[in-house]
Every structure is written in structure tokens, then in C-alpha cells.
Amino acid sequence: MSKALRVSIFYLPIFAGLALWELAARAGLLNPSIFPSLGDTLLAFVRLATKGHLLEHAELSLFRQSSGFFLAAFFGIVSGVLMAESRWVRNILEPLLRATFPLPKSALIPLFILWLGIGDSAKVAAVFLGCLLPIVVTTYNAARGINKQLVWSAWSLGTPRWLIPWKVVLPAALPEVMSGLRIALALSFTLMVSAEFLIGQRGLGFLIGTLGEDGDYAGMFAAVLAVTIIGFTADRLFLWLSGMLLSWRD
């Protein structure tokens, strides 16, 4: 059986669900004023993509989400590894992390509205700080839990001390780091959409809200569909990438 066929069989229930949605709408089981059919939603999607500004909104949202996420990934991984390797860094960062970690990350959004106003920076900052803490914590735990013999071997083979965290510890901790990043990736989209619902004049979250306020529910469903597709695609790209990054392991 080819791979494409296997994948389509796996996702068959999704397609069946979509077909059921269309059939139920055609049979008049759904109230069209609050539950547009799949066909109408797809038509609205095409309309928004061609005549509307769906792509511009999506581009802006992705810019905000990815800036926040990549900044958080970089600083989170670096500080997580340093925490595991240096007692000084650990003594400074651990109490701060322990005190702030239980904060529901969405509570940061009002703070950044206060500090940075309603522009891009407030959203990027909310995504950044929201993703940073989970990435630091998973990286720290992963780096702390690696097999110490790897470090000793590298040490005795003459690896310079400052290189060990990056050449030995991080690669050894990578599988767990990647699964932490995957969770943070999903969170980054949630924070992006939430922040855009609340503030600003552009972005997919804003588009969903404004279409809903105008009563264009097919358009609103289409914009939700766009967010869904983007989140799903980003996750699968991430899985593919982490498969490549981890392919040297057995």
C-alpha cells in the first residue's frame, strides 16, 4: 500500500465528518443563520483569499507567532542548558522560574497591552514570554537527566569545557527538548489568536472577530478554518523537522 493511500485511510473519519456536515446542512438539519454549510464556508474561504485580505492577515499573524516562538526557543534552550550546567545560573533562575511557572500564560496579555500598547510588539512579547517558561523548564529537566558518562567521555577526550553544553548536553537532551518545543508551538498559536482577539486591527484573530461582528458567519468559519490549517501544518512541519534532526539517533 502506498504511503498516500495509508494516510488518506487514516484521515478517512475526518473526511466522513466533513461530508456529514455538508449533508446535514443540505438536509436542513442545521440552522443556516448560525451554522453555515461546508460548501458556503469553502466559498467564503476562496472569497476571503482572493478578494479579502486573508493572506495579509495570515502573514501578519504568522510573523507575530514565529517571532515570539523562535525568540522563546533560542533563549529558552540556552538558559535551560546553562541552568543544568552552571550552579550560578541555576541558583539565580530556579527561584524565579518556580515562582512564575504556575501563572496561566494568557494572564500576561493585559500586562503587555499596558506596557506595549496595541501594536505588534505586545503580541510578540505575549507569545515570547508565554512560550519561554515551558521551554526553559523542559530543556532544564532534559539536560539535567542526560547520561553523565557522555559528558565524562567528551571531557576525557579533550572537548573544551565551554563546548560541552552545546556539543554534548544539548544533543543528548534533544528528543525531550523537541517535544517541549512542540507543546510550546501549539501554545504560541493559542496566545497569538487570543491576543489578536483582544487588541489590534489586523491578524487572523482580529479577522475572525470582525467577521463575526458583521454577521458574516460563513466568513468567520472560513477564517477559523484558516487558523486550523495553519496550526496543523506548522505542527506537521515541526514533526518532520524534528524527525530529520533526530535521525542520527537509533
In the bound state with another protein, the residue whose beta carbon lies nearer, of 30 and 71, is 30
Which position among 165, 180, 203, 205 is part of the footprint of another protein (CB under 8 A)? Answer: 205
- Smallest gap from Cβ 137 to another protein, in A, equals 12
Binding segment for another protein (CB under 8 A), chosen from 40-48, 68-76, 145-153, 227-235, is: 227-235
Which position among 197, 202, 242, 245 is part of the footprint of another protein (CB under 8 A)? Answer: 197
208 binds another protein (CB under 8 A): yes
Which position among 10, 51, 160, 249 is part of the footprint of another protein (CB under 8 A)? Answer: 10
Reduced to 3 states (helix: H, G, I; strand: E, B; else coil), residue 225 is helix
CA distances from 65 to 118, 130, 192, 194, 205 (A): 15, 11, 6, 11, 12
Interaction with another protein in 31-70: which residues (CB under 8 A)? Answer: 34-35
**What sign does the CA torsion over 140, 146, 152, 155 have?**
negative
Grid coordinates of 232: 496543523
Contacts of 35 (CB under 8 A, 6+ apart): 25, 217
227 binds another protein (CB under 8 A): yes
Which position among 136, 168, 204, 222 is part of the footprint of another protein (CB under 8 A)? Answer: 204
Question: Which residues make up the interface to another protein (CB under 8 A)?
Answer: 10-14, 17, 34-35, 91-96, 99-100, 102-111, 113-115, 182, 185-187, 189-190, 192-194, 197-198, 204-205, 208-209, 212, 217, 220-221, 224, 227-228, 231-232, 234-236
